[in-house]
Amino acid sequence: MQAILHIGDIKCGSKSIQGWLAANDSRLRRHGFHGGVATNHSLYDSGLSCYALDDTDLTAEPRREHAIRATANVPGYRHGLEERLAAEVAALPADARAMLFSHEILLSLAPPRLTG
């Protein structure tokens, strides 16, 4: 199983790609490509960005979308997302080929957060 990340730059058509992914969700699933539910907010996966942002960054849009208003809430959010995503992966059909994720803020994260 693979994870496919679309991390297009801001103002470069990412919302169009995200809209297409959402509009074609059932077709993609039939071919083994599944969008993340645990990470999704509206059309995009801001949950991943919210997870990866620096602990003290409470003003970024993903943190506001996921109602994280205090640094003390970050570890609990991360733990909950890890559990929800693990359960989601475990429940995928045996023929699942990949999970698809998309969010622009992933492009601007510091490299240690992407690999850590």
pLDDT digits (tens, 9 = 90+) for 19-49: 999 999 999 999 999 999 999 988 889 999 9
Helix (H, G, I), strand (E, B) or coil at 41: strand
Band the pLDDT of 112: cuts 50, 70, 90: low
pLDDT at 110 over 80: no
In this prediction, what percent of the chain has a pLDDT beyond 90? 66
pTM: 0.85
Residue 80 burial (CB < 10 Å; 0-12/13-18/19+)? middle
SS3 category, 98: strand
- The two three-digit tokens of residue 116, written as one number: 């850590």
Beta carbons of 1 and 99 less than 8 angstroms apart: yes
E-only strand ranges, 29-84: 33-35
